Amino acid sequence: MPRKRDLPIEALAHVTEAHLGPGHAHGLRRLSGGASRETWSYDWVPPSGVAHHLILCRDHASSPIALQRDAECTLLQTAGAQGVAVPAVEFTFADNSGLGSGFVMARVEGETIPRKILRDPEFAAARPLLASQCGEQLARIHAIDTADLPGLPRPPEDEHPVAALLRQYTAILDSMQEPHPAFELGLRWLWSNMPDPVEPRLVHGDFRNGNLIVGPNGIRAVLDWELAHLGDPMEDLGWLCVRAWRFGNDHLRVGGFGDLDELTAGYESAGGPPVESSAVRYWEVFGNLKWGVICLVQSRTHLNGIRRSVELAALGRRVAETEYDLLCLLG
């Protein structure tokens, strides 16, 4: 069992009992990953013996680009009601819980580690399906009525919605107070090649290999909605094509498991609008810039002593990778 300094077990038991009734925690273990959030798996076993299989997510610290927890939970519930594959939210907890802020959701069995998804024999039959399934899930996400989604960041009405995004990431980059010429060049290209404005739709914001639970038959759940916002839906398709999410399978543009034609075919077959390859490329360029800025923010969390972590320090090294990928995309 984890030590108390790793997770306040008494607080965990208290909040779980308050929502699910008497019982005890069993099989508590911390899961891998989660640079911005701790993730724990556990079972809550009531007197009846029929266990609730749960996942606890709690925040390390606030982020300038992350969704508020209540809004994220509302979004998960709305997406699930609209046919998107998501885990069911069981309950939320606040800072005064003794756990910090976060939520608990039902555990969905499957794999999230990209290396295993892309290489293990168990997922051989799933891999050819994943790009099309990603398109189907994204089409459902983008079709959700935005009127049902309070609390999401919205583009301002008095300027181009992409311009607002570029200003956001420019401001974060400027706050780092260190030179990054490749990012400056990328921003210049993005400003010069902005697509025509579209009606803002729900954008997941981090739809990629690593944030999907995959089983032998493909996608079982879409995770990590904390960067969701309203904007151009093509942003999600471009983000999924960023080279960082191919995990060594660079010849397969979509998540290391498929190609763009498979992704767009699945997207359009599920009701998504026709996809222009030039739009995907624009958002792929933006995605490399976005990931580089996120890596900078995460590494500063370590360097400034907010949370010491080898994982966060390693993300600082990945900034150079995103700069290289960005320069390659720009030719």
Domains identified in the chain and CATH numbers: 9-106 (3.30.200.20), 114-330 (3.90.1200.10)
Tokens of 181: 């010429």
pLDDT for res 97: 87
Mean pLDDT, range 146-156, rounded to an integer: 81
The larger pLDDT score, comparing residue 30 to residue 308, is at: 30
Taking the CA atoms of 156, 161, 165 and 170 in sequence, report the sign of the dihedral they define: negative
Tokens of 234: 């093509």
pLDDT for res 62: 53
**pTM to 2 decimals?**
0.90
Percentage, residues of the chain above pLDDT 70: 92
* Helix, strand, coil percentages, rounded to 5, for the chain: 45, 15, 40
At residue 19, does pLDDT exceed 60?
yes
pLDDT for res 5: 46
User: 86-100, 146-160, 302-316: which range is least confident on average?
Assistant: 302-316
Mean pLDDT, range 100-109, rounded to an integer: 93
Question: What one-letter code names the amino acid at 257?
Answer: F
Mean pLDDT of the chain: 90
Residues 6+ apart with CB under 8 A from 294: 65
pLDDT for res 36: 59
Give the position of tokens 């009734």: 21
**Element spanning 92, H or E:** strand 89-93
Categorize the per-residue pLDDT at 91 as very low, low, confident or very high, splitting at 50, 70 and 90: very high
pLDDT for res 152: 86
Categorize the per-residue pLDDT at 237 as very low, low, confident or very high, splitting at 50, 70 and 90: very high
Phi-psi region of 200 (alpha: psi -120 to 50; beta: other; left: phi over 0): beta
Taking the CA atoms of 31, 34, 38 and 43 in sequence, report the sign of the dihedral they define: negative
- Are the beta carbons of 206 and 227 closer than 8 angstroms? yes
pLDDT for res 1: 36
Mean pLDDT, range 156-175, rounded to an integer: 89
Mean pLDDT, range 149-176, rounded to an integer: 87
pLDDT for res 193: 97
How remote is the C-alpha of 197 from its chain's centroid?
24
The DSSP-derived string for 172-210 is: HHHHT-S--HHHHHHHHHHHHTPPPP---EEE-S--STT
Mean pLDDT, range 217-237, rounded to an integer: 95
Residue (of 86, 54, 88) closest to 224 by Cα position: 86
